[in-house]
Structures are given as structure tokens and as C-alpha cells.
């Protein structure tokens, strides 16, 4: 069994990071609208509905990644 050091807990991802990682696996690209200071996320074709729902509930977490506001409305790649 691997020995766990006291500082190992500091490397554990936060719940927010876990959510972002789940969503990021399915993101194809994004479309920036600099006039409105926002972006629209484009997901891969076969993205599960559960990921799309998770995205809509957690768009505020993307502030950590981009300075633009992320729209709750998304697109699927064609």
C-alpha cells in the first residue's frame, strides 16, 4: 500500500475543479463575442445530456478560466 504523506491532501482537486474537468472533456470550442463580453461553448456531437445539464448549472465556474461571461445557452457541433 502506498504511504500517504500529510501534504498529499493539498493536491486533491476541489469539487469545482472536478466539475470543470468533467465538462471540459466534452468541449469542442467556444465562440467569443467581444462586443457583449461573453462566449458561447460548443460541445462535441455525442455529449451526454447529463454533461449539458451540469454545464448549465455551473457556468459561473468558468470565470476561473476566462475573463468573458459564459452563456448558459450552448451549441452542439455539426
Instruction: Go through 42-77 and write b for each residue having 16 or more CB atoms within 10 A of its CB, e for each that does not.
Output: bbeeebeeebbeebeebbebbeeeeebebbeebeee
pLDDT above 90 for 50: yes
**Backbone angles phi and psi of 5, in degrees to 5:** -85, 155
Which pLDDT score is estimated for 67? 83
pTM to 2 decimal places: 0.80
Residue 70 has pLDDT above 70, yes or no: yes
Amino acid at each position: 500500500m502506498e504511504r500517504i504523506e500529510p501534504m498529499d491532501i493539498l493536491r486533491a482537486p476541489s469539487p469545482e475543479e472536478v466539475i470543470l474537468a468533467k465538462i471540459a472533456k466534452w468541449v469542442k470550442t467556444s465562440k467569443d463575442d467581444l462586443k457583449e463580453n461573453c462566449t458561447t461553448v460548443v460541445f462535441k456531437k455525442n455529449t451526454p445530456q447529463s454533461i449539458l445539464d451540469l454545464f448549465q448549472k455551473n457556468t459561473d465556474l468558468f470565470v476561473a478560466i476566462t475573463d468573458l461571461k459564459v452563456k448558459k445557452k450552448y451549441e452542439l457541433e455539426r
